Amino acid sequence: MMPPASTLPGVDALWPLCLQIAARGAPSPADTQSPIAWNAAQGCSLQGLWDGQALELFELLKPLLDARHAGTPWAVGQLGQSLGGCVATYGGDSNYVNGPEMLVHLHRLRALCDVVIVGAGTAALDNPQLTTRRVDGPHPVRVLLDPALRLPATLRVFCDGQAPTLLACDASRAHEAARRVGADQVLGVRGLARPDGSTDLRALQAALLERGLGMLFVEGGGITVSRFIEQGCLDRLHLCIAPVIIGAGRPGLQLPRSTAMRDCMRPPSRVYRMGADVLW
């Protein structure tokens, strides 16, 4: 006989286990008492009886937890957008596209990853904190991708001391960046700036991995996430769709045009409800 759902462990019991995997990996197969098991064929699996919300959250986070335990470099991107595919109004206001449940999910991804990455445009508009203040868990290293050195040193991430911060620029401009924000907050990446003006994101990933930072969360904005997809640098994408119509706002994904539907990307996907929002 199944116990009542109200007596089953839920998200509050599951989340500390996810943080443990992120910090130390899953328990060994010999630990038969652990609620989470691991084997090479299936990765992490949840043992015993759990309520439906916990099972759904574990399913959503499992790819990240599997990569974390295996020690595999991995990147997940997330965009919060309107029904029409916009991430902000025309003027750049994006606070808040999504509701509180999706914001909690955003902070969980930060807590489970080594790094949270945002582009210079998003950082300049939002002046974000990029911390895990809505959930228990460590703050990630905050990386601001700014090859052109557009960002002012007055942004909160450079001044608040809440978490380590790195301004990522081409190695040729590292000394200039250090004069602005301090050498300890600069990541000079050799080959980051290509001759055509684009950014080599694989060079960024390699530079972060050299520092032991292999689990990346690409939080935005639309251009930065799009470039990660275009260069084959993203393992998973979370699109958080809110029941709001912005109109002629700032678009989310901006990828090369397809001339025929048969040429369009059709990645395998799942859909999750989070409050009034839908996570694809």
pLDDT, the chain, mean: 93
Per residue in 225-240, pLDDT (tens digit) is: 999 999 999 999 999 9
Calpha distance 85→81 (Å, rounded)? 5
Beta pairing class for 43-46 and 36-39: antiparallel
Residue 257 confidence (pLDDT): 87
Calpha distance 72→141 (Å, rounded)? 18
- pLDDT bin (cut points 50, 70, 90) of residue 5 is low
132: tokens are 């895990």
Residue 235 confidence (pLDDT): 97
Q: How far is CA 102 from the centre of its chain?
A: 13
- pLDDT bin (cut points 50, 70, 90) of residue 96 is confident
Residue 45 confidence (pLDDT): 92
Residue 39 confidence (pLDDT): 86
Calpha distance 278→8 (Å, rounded)? 25
Cα–Cα nearest to 61, from 251, 275, 209, 279:
279
- pLDDT bin (cut points 50, 70, 90) of residue 93 is confident
Residue 276 confidence (pLDDT): 96
pLDDT at residue 81 greater than cutoff 60: yes
Residue the block writes with tokens 């999706």: 102
- Judge if the upstream peptide bond of residue 221 is cis by omega within 30 degrees of 0: yes
Residue 94 confidence (pLDDT): 83
Q: For a pLDDT cut of 70, what percent of the chain falls above it?
A: 97
More confident residue, 29 or 170: 170
Residue 30 confidence (pLDDT): 64
CA distances from 93 to 87, 154, 203 (A): 9, 20, 31
Calpha distance 280→277 (Å, rounded)? 10
Per residue in 150-165, pLDDT (tens digit) is: 999 999 999 999 999 9
Q: How far is CA 74 from the centre of its chain?
A: 10
pLDDT at residue 1 greater than cutoff 60: no
Helix residue spans in the chain (DSSP H) = 11-24, 52-70, 100-112, 120-126, 156-159, 174-181, 201-210, 222-230
Beta pairing class for 277-279 and 236-241: antiparallel
CA atoms within 13 A of residue 77's CA, in its CB half-sphere: 22
Mean pLDDT over 162-172 rounds to: 98
**Residue partners of 27: CB distance under 8 A and separation at least 6:** 34, 36, 37, 38
Indicate if the alpha-carbon torsion angle 129, 134, 140, 143 is positive or negative: negative
Per residue in 185-235, pLDDT (tens digit) is: 999 999 999 999 899 999 999 999 999 999 999 998 999 999 999 999 999
